[in-house]
Amino acid sequence: MRMQELIRQLLAELGEDPAREGLRDTPKRVEKAYGFLTSGYHADIGQVLNNALFTVDYSEMVIVKDIDFYSLCEHHLLPFFGKCHVAYIPSTKVIGLSKIPRIVDVFARRLQVQERLTNQIADTIRDTVAPLGVAVVMEATHLCMSMRGVEKQNSFCVTSAMHGAFRDSARTRMEFLELIKLRTVGPVMREAQAAGLACVADD
C-alpha cells in the first residue's frame, strides 16, 4: 500500500490527476510491475542452480548466445535491454544449459548498470562452475539515452567480462567473438569499453 501511495504522489507531482479513470489502478499496476522487474533481489542463486551441476569429461567451449534480457538502469529507472552471450570452458563440471538464462534474469531483474550486470553473471559462473574460463558479452539499448535524445550514437552499448582462458588467450577470445558475431562492429565495442559507461548518469 505504501508503494501505491508513493506512485499516486508521483503522478500528482507530474501534473496528473491520479483519480482520473485511466490512472485509478495505475499505482497497483506499477507496484506489481516494479515488484517483478526487481524480483532478482529476492532470488536465491544457490536455489536457482540447485542440482544443475554435472560432472563431465568435456573441455570444449560451451556457448549460449542471444539470451534476451531486460533490466532497469539505476540512474534513471528506465529500461535497458538487449542480448547476452555467455561462454565457458568446463574444467570438471558443466551447468544445465537452461540455468544460464535464469542466472541472467536474477541479476537483470534489479536496478543495474550494464557493466556490473555483465560482471555479476561472469563471476557467478566462475564461482559456481569453476571453469577454465568464462566470457560474457552484453549488447543493450538504453532508453534513458535514446528516449531523451542524449548521446544517441552511444545509446547502444556493448560490455564484456572475460576470465581465465578468455582473458589469457587471444585465440579463445576471438573464437568466442566470432561465434557470437556481434551486431556491432569492433570500434563501437572498443568505444563502449573505453568509455566505461553504459548510460550517462549525471543528468
Residue 75 falls in the annotated catalytic set: yes
Verify whether residue 76 is a known catalytic residue.
yes
Q: Cα 120–126–129 angle (5° rounding)?
A: 125
104 phi, psi to nearest 5 deg: -60, -45
Nearer Cβ to Zn ion (89/144) = 144
> Any catalytic annotation for residue 114?
yes
Least Cβ distance, residue 154 to Zn ion (angstroms): 12
- How far, in Å, are 128, 144, 146, 172 from residue 134 at the CA level? 11, 30, 31, 10
Mark whether 157 is an active-site residue. Answer: no
Q: If you count them, how many residues does the chain have?
A: 203
CB of 202 to Zn ion, least distance (A): 10
Residue of 73, 84, 157, 199 marked catalytic: 73
Tell me how far, at minimum, the Cβ of 195 lies from Zn ion, in Å.
14
- In the chain, what is the straight-line distance between the N-terminal and C-terminal CA atoms, in Å? 31
Q: Rule CB under 5 A: which residues touch Zn ion?
A: 73, 75-76, 144, 199
Please answer whether residues 132 and 59 qualify as being in contact, where contact means their C-beta atoms are separated by less than 8 angstroms: yes
Catalytic entry in 139, 142, 163, 199: 142
The residue among 42 and 152 lying less far from Zn ion, judged by its C-beta, is 152
Closest contact distance (angstroms) between CB of 149 and Zn ion is: 13
Catalytic residue among 84, 112, 144, 163: 144
* The three cell numbers locating residue 68: 534476451
The residues carrying an active-site annotation are 73-76, 114, 142, 144
